[in-house]
Amino acid sequence: MSEQNGYVVVFGCKRCGKCKDVCPVDAIYEENELSKIDQDKCTRCMKCIDVCPNKAIIYME
């Protein structure tokens, strides 16, 4: 899967960690102080989207 497919974290992210805490497969990690989603681990459960207070996670096709 290319980096433009699947869920991605956008600039509205405040790095509160709620998405990382709720992810059941530990697909969310930080790289260079930005949150990233490992597309190979992500199961598309949408828990991160539901918990994000800033709506900073979107789905890209």
In a domain, 39, yes or no: yes
Q: What is the CATH number of the domain that holds 33?
A: 3.30.70.20
CA–CA distance, 23 with 26 (Å, rounded to integer): 5
In a domain, 1, yes or no: no
The total of structural domains in the chain comes to 1
Domain holding 32, by residue range, is: 6-60
In a domain, 46, yes or no: yes
pLDDT tens by residue, 13-29: 998 999 999 999 999 99
pLDDT tens by residue, 37-58: 999 999 999 999 999 999 999 9
Q: What angle do CA 42, 11, 8 make, to 5 degrees?
A: 15
- Its pTM stands at 0.80
In a domain, 48, yes or no: yes
